[in-house]
Amino acid sequence: MDVAATGQSSLDQLHLERRCPALPPLAVGILIALCTAKLLLHLFTSVRHYGYFRDELYYLDMARHLDWGYVDAAPLIAVYAKIALWMGGSLAALRILPALAGTALVGLTILIARELGGGRYAQLLAGVAILVCPAVLMTDSLLTMNAFEPLFWMGCIWVVTRILRTSDSRLWLWFGVLAGLALENKHSTLSFGFAVAIALLLTHHRREFARPWIWIAGAIALALFLPNIIWQIRHHFPTIEDLANVRREGKNVVLGPLAFVKEQIIDMHPILLPVWLSGLVWFFRVRRWRVLGLTFAVFFVLMEVAHAKNYYVFPIYPMLFAGGAVAIEQWLAKHAPWTRTALVAVILLASLPALPLATWMLSPERLLAYQNAIGFKPSKAEVHHESLLPQPIADQFGWPEMVSEIAAIYNSLPPDERAKTGIWAGNYGEAGAINEFGPRYGLPRAWSRHQNYWYWGPPPQVFKNLVVVQWSLDDVRENCSSFQAFEHYQRFGMDDENTSIYLCRRVTFDIQKIWWHSHHWN
């Protein structure tokens, strides 16, 4: 036997293991149990007490007008809504999709923890953290692009961790596919991709840019995103105009740096702060994973500088939970075994009081009583948001009742007068509600110049009369020869929705002529 050759072989094997460490076993039972718990939690709470969310009604109308882009959304949200329509379009059909996305996110977070070197306990802790996180629970309770965004981003992060572990640069191709799909889900992925690129450049992993694979991945992402880019160009970049209008009008609450950090801690739940903060510190301490810590830091600073809403940062936290779980597993290995069980138990018990606030398990009356009992009410994200309930809940109330009231007004008209009467909504929520619930009352479709509804007009005829929703009294007086006001009030809805519905008789303008002269994007 050649002793020298054997020694060299052992050294080569050791070098390979250091360069590409073996993965711990996947905790399949834990993964299945936590994913099942996540799915069941949403199935039993998402449709129990509330109705369609304002944006969900808008997305259903997008699904009826499939396109490669929309004023305020990338195209994939319409595809999700189209799938829900194929399943009947019920509230349960809508809500199962984000629940499934959230369930997949739990599994993906566990896989990231394993890729980082986490054993059975780290995989459990990472899965529990993402399972009970209030921000994630609330996001996965509504059909919005926000429910799918962390799934795409963490798919990208999982690929990055595999590249960092194996040095297999060819895996960037999968990053390109996931990033391209993520861009078609939500444009904020541009900021996420920028953060990843800067993080690579700030570490020794900048060498990836000297190889072809990351550039090919960029080309793949661009190719997948190209249809939406073309749509934006053909429509003169309405999304940029929409975002500029939001900033100019001061629609969103602007948080200072300390307030922004405070909201992150609250929304993630304070009990989980040690987990994700440990992950951030561990990423910076371990050279192999430093690019992940820098990705979070760059993205967080970018969001703060841009005065973004606090939930814009939520999709990037699962990787911190995964990293924190691995760091805590390594630290607790030096302590008594019961400490690991105790930590998970403490997290679960401390998270229980937040569940009624993060899911739709309580009726509005009981939710208000619960908020008063614990002395906590979520902060508002928009300046003009006023209601008894938090906005994500308040925007689920009043839509069927409003459409019923509109139907009573419309159907009270003689048949010949109804044929010359249209319905005009000032907001996409009202328009979506009328188009969703109106057919059962024989209502025609609603018209609006708000957001993407402007592209779906003008009406094919000039109306003599209009039933108008979300018009001010001054607008009614200016544009109607005569009018009747009908009071509308919903206790648990948004306060600005509690405005009168008007029957505008003998409209003084030609709706087709004025349509293209103005639109309402904000």
Residue 13: predicted pLDDT: 46
Q: Which of 264, 239, 242, 112 is nearest to 186 (CA)?
A: 239
Q: Which amino acid type is present at position 231?
A: W
Whether the CB-CB separation of 418 and 442 falls below 8 Å is answered with no
Tokens (6 digits) for 38:
């996540």
| CA separation for the pair 91, 84 (Å, rounded) | 9
Per-residue pLDDT of the chain (522 residues; tens, 9 = 90+): 454 544 544 444 444 445 677 899 999 999 999 999 999 999 999 887 889 999 999 999 999 999 999 999 999 999 999 999 999 999 999 999 999 999 999 999 999 999 999 999 999 999 999 999 999 999 999 999 999 999 999 999 999 999 999 999 999 999 999 999 999 999 999 999 999 999 999 999 999 999 999 999 999 999 999 999 999 999 999 999 998 888 887 666 677 888 889 999 999 999 999 999 999 999 999 999 999 999 999 999 999 988 888 889 999 999 999 999 999 999 998 888 899 999 999 999 999 999 999 999 999 899 889 888 888 877 766 656 667 788 888 899 989 999 999 999 999 999 999 999 999 998 999 999 999 999 999 999 999 999 999 999 899 988 999 999 988 889 889 999 999 999 888 877 777 778 889 999 999 988 888 888 888 888
CB 76 within 8 A of CB 227: no
Output the pLDDT for position 1.
45
Confidence (pLDDT) at 335: 86
In the prediction, which pLDDT does 128 show? Answer: 98
The Cα 357–Cα 45 span in angstroms is: 12
CA distance 53 to 46: 11
pLDDT of residue 10: 47
pLDDT at site 197: 97
Model confidence pTM above 0.85: yes
d(CA 438, CA 400): 9
How much is the pLDDT for 134? 95
- CA triplet 146, 149, 150: central angle to 5 degrees? 110
User: Pick from 268, 254, 263, 273: which is nearest to 139 by CA?
Assistant: 268
